[in-house]
Amino acid sequence: MACDFESTLLKKYIIDADGRQCSVLPVAFMVVGIESWASTANLKLIHSQNTLCSLDMSSALQTPLAPSTPRRTVALRQPTVDDGGELWRMATESQTLDVNTSYAYLLWCRDFGTTSLMAEIDGEPAGFVIGYVRPENPETLMIWQVAVDSSHRGQGLARTLLDGLVDRVPGVTRMETTITDDNRASIALFTSFAKRRDASIQRDDLFGDHHFPDNHDAERLYTIAPLS
């Protein structure tokens, strides 16, 4: 018996194996990390291509749960051209991001898919992060946009997307992103990421009001390093 799950979100989910339901050990998982936690709980990690990993639940301790407990499958994968339209939709509906043309998202998925990631919940697009490796500094991963559908916010999905992307892009030691001063959610997301990675976070001016031809707010550069 195996079931898919998304690692950081594990604490939020109930794993359903072979018709039975199991509660997980969220505190232990958060403290010791997934592999130690799985070992402690006598669970076997199965890495696969389409999901971060799965659990063999054969030997799990199982606890009956209320039948109404929601069960969701979260998967992370590289976006393809066919996903470009969904990325554009999520960017548009975020009501915060600068929305680029739909064409730009298609191109992005074609040319920068390997440095981008999308999340699906129960097979439905739920969030994305798009980035690129800076041509003049291949150790720097620049995060351009991250968005989570409003119905899935506050559940660790953006955190999971960032972690998942950094872990998939080889050779990067530094992350950059730009954030406007009024975007508290984004500042909290990247500050939390830096803290979790035990990295420093530096804020510098990058694009001031005077750079923008429209009424765009200044974008500060956040640099997070070193990435481990």
Question: Of 32-40, 48-56, 142-150, 214-222, which segment contacts ligand COA by CB under 6 A?
Answer: 142-150
Contact of 56 with 46, CB cutoff 8 Å: yes
Q: For residue 224, what are the contacts with CB-CB under 8 A and spacing of at least 6?
A: 174, 175, 176, 190, 193, 194, 197, 199, 200, 201, 202
Does residue 148 interact with ligand COA by CB under 6 A?
A: yes
Please report, as residue ranges, which positions from 89 to 128 form the binding site for ligand COA (by CB under 6 A): 94, 96-97
Q: Locate tokens 């923008």: which residue?
A: 212
Tell me if 183 contacts ligand COA by CB under 6 A.
yes
Q: Does 147 bind ligand COA (CB under 6 A)?
A: yes
By CB under 6 A, is residue 165 in contact with ligand COA? no
Tell me how far apart the alpha carbons of residues 175 and 183 are, in angstroms, rounded to a whole number: 18
User: Which residues are paired to 2 by β-bridges?
Assistant: 56
* Size, binding site for ligand COA by CB under 6 A: 21
Of positions 66, 184, 215, 228, contacts ligand COA by CB under 6 A: 184
Give the separation between CA 2 and CA 100, rounded to whole angstroms: 40
Query: What's the angle, vertex CA 187, arms to CA 183 and CA 188, rounded to 5?
Result: 115
Closest approach, Cβ 1 to ligand COA, in A, equals 29
- Interface with ligand COA (CB under 6 A), residue from 157, 165, 166, 169: 157
Residues that bind ligand COA (CB under 6 A): 94, 96-97, 145-148, 153-159, 183-186, 188-189, 192
